[in-house]
Structure 1
Amino acid sequence: MTEQPNEPLAVKPPLPHLVAGMDEEELTITLGLGLAARKAAEAEYILHGIYVHLIDAEKAYSQLPVATGGKLVKECRAKLSTSGLPASCQTSLAEDLDAVEEGIRLRNRYLHGYWIYDDESYQWLTLKGAHGTQRPEVTFVESSEVWELADQLGKLCSRLLHWDTAHFGEEADDEEDHQGLVSRKRI
């Protein structure tokens, strides 16, 4: 990999020593990881709101988050069947919950994995501990994958927010110039 002295996107980081020596590929991965982390956090935020509705709590912030990540998805899935929502609504949310679970799994691999460039195969590897085993999970990864994950999670967040608003939305406040239903989470 060749060193590139230029700064992509004309970004001037506040602590430039943290990116000193990174080439364009490493900077691409680093920026993509940040985007994926932000979109995954947004999905968890929306899911917490959906969970609160599924347990029929009075207010969106009246319940503490029960969990994060995959565990939050499982909690939502468990409450979905007793929610009283029509089967078609449950099915559409269940499909999105599956997608969130996969997105969180990938997010965990990318964020908690150690990234190393393999000079023999000319590819990136992520090394991550796997639950229940004593061997690491080793996976070849393209730098574009973190960007694709961020994009998928962003689209998923839009679907989740739309679902939440359609089933649990409330009338918009006039002072905000919104019309119709809005999510209680107000993203």
Structure 2
Amino acid sequence: MINNYSRIKRFLSLILTIHTIASFAKTYYVSTSGNNSNTGLAPTPAMAWKTLTYAAGSSSPVVAGDIVYVQAGNFNENVIFSKSGTAGNPITFQGYKNTPGDLPPLLVGNANPYSSFNINDMPTFDGGNRATGTGFNCSNQKYLIIKNFQIQNYAYGFIAGGANQTSGNIILNNVN
């Protein structure tokens, strides 16, 4: 009887350990010098993905709670976000210049909000004066954090929702 109890206890511990390991969020990277057939798990050309379109698309491994860092560069994409986070685990898509987290937040209060903010340090999504198309389309997605991006020269810079579509809990921060 005690031997069975010990086995059950070990089995439950193993299941809990596997579940805990599987529930850790992953960090992925996008760079203009990457390749979408890479793993996306390191900020090097040999590992990073090439496009945010892939990272945000349905065929990427990104799931709720993950972070996708996008290195500064010029992108010409219509990004359709096909991923949603959850209330406790949003998906974060964040631009950076050289090292993830290196772009300062906008200052608030009496400080000049633009003194430490340079849009040229962010990834730039440039539609090339398109008459149609959207820079970032988050229709029908929820629980996303999108920060430190410049979107320009598209018919629409950012869309969430629309006719018979719902989107919610999407946070835009330092998006120009």
TM-score, normalisation: structure 1: 0.26
Relative to its length, the structure with more helix (as a share) is 1
TM-score, normalisation: structure 2: 0.27
Higher RCO (CA < 8 A, seq sep 6+): 1
Relative to its length, the structure with more strand (as a share) is 2
